[in-house]
Amino acid sequence: MARSLYNTDLYREKLESVSADVLRNVRINKGFLVWMGILTISLAACLYAYTIQLQKGLGVTGLRDATSWGMYIATFVFFVATSLIGMLISSVLGLSGTKWIKPITRIAEIIAVAFAAVAGLVIISDMGRPDRFPYLFLYGRIQSPILWDVTVVTTYLFVSLMLWFIPLIPDLAISKSRLEGRPGFLIKIYEILSVKWVNHDRQFQIMHQAMRILLILIVPLAFAIHTVTSWLFAVTPRAGWDSTIFGPYFISGAFVSGTAAVIIAMYFFRENYKLQKYLTDFHFEKIGRVLALVSIIYIYFNINEFIVPGYKLKTHEAIHLKELFTGHYAWLFWGVQLAGLVIPVALLLIKRMRKPLPLLLISIVVFAASWFKRYLIVVPVQGHPYLPIQNVPVEWMVYKPTIIETSVTMASMILVLMIITILSKLFPVVPIWEIAEEEATVNEEIEHK
């Protein structure tokens, strides 16, 4: 494709129409303020719960000697998992030349940034002495997967932020002159962040180079962050965590929850921002197929993860598996596996189910099930420690999340929503220049014929 495309009238024309549609939503209106208000109030309520935890310690949660990782860590794993979608959409599909992902790459990156950013905070909520967080950097042991996790999660967050930002630069430049009526500070931010972009071919060239570096860098990084998160569990000798396939098991599961999150966001933006022209049924059809594919891969890893120890039934594995299959966690386990994976896949194979609304409903179930799946990975294993303790109260042995704990977990989810809201309301949620480019190219090709 000739670079000079960016100077054609056709491209400018397209730019005009696309930016009009997209920028209509970039403003601070009543809806935005009310929504942020609700989020802020709920966040304040949940943070109050956290202040209680800060004063009284982790004793106000359900965490005790036996189960010391509960809801918080399950949520952490879930957040890290969901954030991987940025890599799948932008890199894996993007680098392989898939065209239909263009309008949703930014949504995927927003989700990656929001979930990765809060994942780190969730870890702090699990600390009894958060004031000692800096010790991790002062006295951290490089041998510990926990330090690797901190390293890769922060790096991934930063790179995802750049993956969101760099393709945004041309949009910022395009938009800044079209933002009459918006608050001055917003226009000022656009001015600064657009780093003197003037739509010059040389600038496009540099941007494409930068993007290529990032898109390649993000692949090993994303694999690293979720593999290392899985190692937090897999490097221990506990039955149920002591598995060699935990890395790919976690990554394949991550794509499931991430794809579901993107679909939910796509539907929301399509309806609320009136973007039906850009997020079409065709896009839903395609991403529905992606969800089916990644779910099937995850089912494959699930079969592997349970059949192999289930066939051998080593003493401790047997206790753990029995608890999942027929014991205390059986309802949750089979609910998650069937309603969260098997049934969605069966439905997604039907074309009609890949229309926006049915796909949204399926994704909501899949997304919720993904959280419970993480809970099932983290919690039940700890109910059967190798060194049993005696003569202790039941609460020390059996984990039950408390209201305070649940509220603090809610706080992290609210924070994610706030970040998504800010990034999607104050900045164009679909890439203007890329869509214009795409439409112009298609038009040109038609004219040539």
Stretch that binds another protein, among 209-217, 272-280, 328-336, 409-417 (CB under 8 A): 209-217
Q: Is 389 in the site for another protein (CB under 8 A)?
A: no
Q: In whole angstroms, what is the distance from residue 308 CA to residue 305 CA? A: 6
Nearer residue to another protein within complex by CB, 66 or 147? 147
Cα angle 396, 408, 137 (rounded to 5 degrees) comes to 85
Distances (CA, A) of 412 to 65, 72, 73, 288, 349: 25, 9, 12, 28, 34
Q: In whole angstroms, what is the distance from residue 381 CA to residue 361 CA? A: 31
Contact (Cβ atoms closer than 8 angstroms) between residue 271 and residue 247:
no
Site string for another protein, 223-242 (x = CB under 8 A): -x------------------
Please report the DSSP string for 114-157 in residue order. Answer: HHHHHHHHHHHHT-S-GGGTTHHHHS--TT-HHHHHHHHHHHHH
Stretch that binds another protein, among 213-221, 258-266, 373-381, 425-433 (CB under 8 A): 213-221
Q: Is 269 in the site for another protein (CB under 8 A)?
A: no
Binding-site member from 132, 196, 328, 400 for another protein (CB under 8 A): 196
Residue at token pair 């899985």 = 230
Nearer residue to another protein within complex by CB, 187 or 410? 187
CB of 172: closest distance to another protein in angstroms?
12
Q: Is 200 in the site for another protein (CB under 8 A)?
A: yes
* Residue 239 region by backbone torsions, left for phi larger than 0, else alpha for psi between -120 and 50, else beta: beta
Contact (Cβ atoms closer than 8 angstroms) between residue 348 and residue 295:
yes
Q: Is 206 in the site for another protein (CB under 8 A)?
A: yes
Nearer residue to another protein within complex by CB, 20 or 213? 213
Binding-site member from 98, 209, 272, 276 for another protein (CB under 8 A): 209
Q: Is 391 in the site for another protein (CB under 8 A)?
A: yes
Please report the DSSP string for 272-298 in residue order. Answer: HTT-TTTS-HHHHHHHHHHHHHHHHHH
Positions 124 through 163 that interact with another protein (CB under 8 A): 139-143, 148, 151, 155, 158-159, 162
Binding-site member from 217, 299, 342, 353 for another protein (CB under 8 A): 217
Binding-site member from 68, 203, 304, 406 for another protein (CB under 8 A): 203
Which residues have C-beta within 8 Å of that of residue 356, sequence separation ≥ 6?
267, 270, 281, 284
CB of 119: closest distance to another protein in angstroms?
18
Binding site for another protein (CB under 8 A): 139-143, 148, 151, 155, 158-159, 162, 166, 169, 195-198, 200, 202-203, 206-207, 209-210, 213-214, 217, 221, 224, 390-391
